[in-house]
Amino acid sequence: MFAVTLDGYGGPEVMRWAQVDDLPAPAEGEVAVDVVAAGVNRADIMQRQGFYPPPPGASDILGLEVSGIVAAVGPGVQGWQPGDAVCALLSGGGYAERVNVPATQLLPVPDGVSLTAAAALPEAAATVWSNVVMTGGLRDGQTLLVHGGGSGIGTHAIQVGRALGARVAVTAGSQYKLDRCAELGANTLINYRDDDFVQIVTAEYGGADVILDIMGAGYLQRNVQALAENGDLTIIGLQDGAAAELDLGLMLFKRASVHVTNLRRRPRGGPGSKAEIIAELRQKLWPLIAEGAVAPVVSAEIPIADVAAAHPLLDSGETVGKVLLTIREP
């Protein structure tokens, strides 16, 4: 089969669409998927640069989410059969013609979503739902602050927040991205280059009940200041550093919580696992997608042979939502 290989670590030019060994038949509890499209995530860029190795036992091929058609099912798999249209959350291996996936990490393509666009859902949906809803407990009438509102995670989080009845504030670095966030339902638009998000969120809402942060250390102090009482800050990225001082006094005063989470290294099964998150998505989020309250936001579709052109798009001022790699016709 063909897959994206790396000629060492470095820039986008190290990626090659090349022939590799065929996958083995799916193991116990696994399903083989012929990939139609794969989502591009910042974790892929970090792995390409040598900063984010796959967890033990995972494929070293890039790619954390795909859509496609079930090609074969392994022993013990129930509920899936060859020919099913699916999307899947992976620990690796998505930039390829075929991938083996634990059956518990498969989802049906939602009603109203194309097979290609479905590749934009698993990583963003699992990240947002597990952190904003399962951990943060976001509910009707609360305030959600999303940093990086124009990203794949951000565009999804805006829609989920609005679908749950929350007020949504976002930060982004350009008016174009803020305008797109407004179209998706964001109530408060904050240009992080010019505006003080702490002052704005505090003045408008008395603080945020849930904050979803991709920046890490550089935003930690201000995020805590922006939290409402009993607020929840979840950090899912470290784009602005990994080490910072935490004001425990202010946390104590607000009775606030800080969580730092990682989706890729979660276990397959058990409490807090990928299987648990995927089951919640199918039960609670997929109906919202089917009714049109939440939809994948796709900025670009790039043929897999041009993979080197896809990664730079994540840092483009014109990219809002997800970048997809197309592998075969749906």
Q: What is the mean pLDDT of residues 225-233?
A: 98
Is the domain of 247 the same as that of 193?
Answer: yes
Residue 254's CATH number? 3.40.50.720
- Percent of the residues in the chain that have a pLDDT greater than 70, as a whole number: 100
pLDDT in tens, 8-43: 999 999 999 999 999 999 999 999 999 999 999 999
The answer to whether position 269 is within a domain reads no
Is the domain of 82 the same as that of 45?
Answer: yes
Residue 7's CATH number? 3.90.180.10
Is the domain of 52 the same as that of 134?
Answer: no
Average pLDDT, the chain: 97
And the tokens for 174? Answer: 């350009």
Contact residues for 207 (Cβ-Cβ < 8 A; gap 6+): 143, 201, 226, 227, 228, 229, 231, 254
Is the domain of 63 the same as that of 162?
Answer: no
What pLDDT is recorded for position 185?
A: 97
> Is 243 a residue whose pLDDT tops 90?
yes
Q: What is the mean pLDDT of residues 261-284?
A: 95
- Count CB atoms within 10 A of the CB of residue 4: 25
Is the domain of 96 the same as that of 129?
Answer: no
Q: What is the DSSP string of 241-293?
A: -S-----HHHHHHHT-EEEE--STTS-SSSTT-HHHHHHHIIIIIHHHHHTTS
How many residues comprise the chain? 330
Distance CA 69, CA 36 (A): 8
Is the domain of 145 the same as that of 229?
Answer: yes
The answer to whether position 290 is within a domain reads no
The answer to whether position 276 is within a domain reads no
What pLDDT is recorded for position 114?
A: 98
Strand partners, 171: 147, 190
What pLDDT is recorded for position 137?
A: 97
| Model confidence band, residue 171 (pLDDT cutoffs 50, 70, 90) | very high
| Model confidence band, residue 240 (pLDDT cutoffs 50, 70, 90) | very high
CB 314 within 8 A of CB 323: yes
What pLDDT is recorded for position 133?
A: 98
The answer to whether position 281 is within a domain reads no
| pTM, to two decimals | 0.96
> Is 216 a residue whose pLDDT tops 90?
yes
Is the domain of 44 the same as that of 74?
Answer: yes
Q: Helix (H, G, I), strand (E, B), or coil: what is residue 66?
A: strand
The answer to whether position 41 is within a domain reads yes
Is the domain of 116 the same as that of 128?
Answer: no
> Is 330 a residue whose pLDDT tops 90?
no
CB 238 within 8 A of CB 217: yes
What pLDDT is recorded for position 152?
A: 97
> Is 305 a residue whose pLDDT tops 90?
yes
| Model confidence band, residue 264 (pLDDT cutoffs 50, 70, 90) | very high
Is the domain of 113 the same as that of 158?
Answer: no
Distance CA 81, CA 326 (A): 23
User: What's the domain range around 132?
Assistant: 124-260
* Among candidate residues 263, 291, 285, 286, the one with its CA nearest the CA of residue 275: 263
Q: What is the mean pLDDT of residues 93-106?
A: 98
